[in-house]
Copies of this chain bind each other. A is one copy, B any other.
Amino acid sequence: MAPFSSAPVWLEKALAWIDTNTVAMGSEDVPLAEAAGRILARPVTALAALPPFDRAAGHGLAVRARDTIGASLYNLLNFALAAPGEVLPEAGVMPIEAGDRLPQGADAILPLDHASPDPKAGRCEIVEPAILGNLIEHAGSHAPAGAALLLAGRRLRAVDIGLMAVADHATLPVIRRPLLRLLIACPPSIPDADGPLLRALIARDGGVMTEIRRVERKRGKLRAALGLSGADIILVAGGTGEGADDVAAEALAAAGELAFHGLALEPGRSAGMGRLAAGPLVFLLPGAPVACLWGYELLAGRAVRRMAGGNGALPFLKATLRLRRKIVSSIGMTEICPLRVKDGEASPIASFAEAGLVSAAAANGFALVPAGSEGFAEGAMIEAYLYEAP
């Protein structure tokens, strides 16, 4: 039997321990095509001016604006129509297309509806004067060389990928994904739901589950499995309660440091945490799927999210909502209450104790009731987390 080592640990204390023991991973360079959603490890600057040269913002004729002064329907000006090239000849105009480099000597682009080019004759009549600088994107007007384009810590969006392609970055320095191993120490008679659940949660938070391994609920076997290398975080699911073969905490204490075991958290009270001498953090998660879920979300997930480059906060929207029915909670435990949110109001639904993951999937939000609170009255305004945008 492995009773919890002491009185249950307050959630706040556990979170502080996690924050003290986690830093963002180092960086790695990834190709642009794999960078969306990753977190930038360093700022990215413009290697060259954007655009790199003066260029056409639209189709038309490259001209010298001063040559066109006085043109009108009553004073057609006639120019030589040059072939596209690098230099605009004296007294000439040159067709140009959007994105083309402005030929040397040109300082304006005249829209085509102000001109009548005659390619056969190699001449062009102009009926309006060109405005200096018209339809020209000047070199560096989007960003000068060396300008910061993206800041460190940014979660890369699709548009950032496009900008980086424009700015000629083939790879980007991003925070490495923390690697996790999962040891399943649940009785072998129970089909594993924690593995699929945790794999999806870890991917959502920017980590990678590299291995899921069943381990016999024996202290020595579990200790040996903890000692295998190759992870930044190790999760143990099951074996953390007060039953006869709940040996995860003992195994962790033997393999390194057991910082806490037994949290003032419901679901999740049999969770624990610590670290191996070799470095990896270890989280002990309850085996029951819904308790495993919340042990992950509040504890292990915080570590994953911080090591993946974020601030560790729960990855959900927050909203202040009116409570349609009261929530009753025990003093001394942070309790998580599943909510059904609709039209800006929240209703508690069957608790996790009553309906397990069915409640978690039926909820579209949840509230944390602090350890010092007996709950919330009907009509109270509460802070809730939402799984989806309203």
Contacts and interface: CB of A to CB of B under 8 A. Distances in A.
Interface of A: 32-33, 36, 50, 57-59, 95, 97-100, 112, 141-143, 149-150, 155, 157-166, 168, 186-187, 190-197, 199-201, 203-204, 241-245, 287-289, 292-293, 317-318, 353-361, 387-389
Contact of A204 (B36, B99, B354, B387): B36
Nearest to A195: B165
B317 A354 contact: no
A288 B357 CA distance: 48
Given A59-B241, A97-B244, A112-B242, A193 B357 contact: no
Contact of A163 (B57, B100, B164, B358): B358
For the complex of A and B, 5 pairs with smallest distance between CB atoms: A162-B197, A158-B200, A165-B193, A165-B196, A163-B357
A33 B357 CA distance: 17
A387 B142 CA distance: 21
Contact of A162 (B57, B242, B293): B293
Contact of A165 (B95, B166, B191, B242): B191
A305 to B, nearest CB: 13
20 contacts: A32-B196, A36-B204, A50-B358, A57-B353, A58-B241, A97-B244, A98-B241, A98-B243, A100-B187, A112-B242, A142-B355, A142-B357, A143-B358, A149-B361, A150-B361, A157-B200, A162-B196, A162-B360, A165-B197, A317-B317
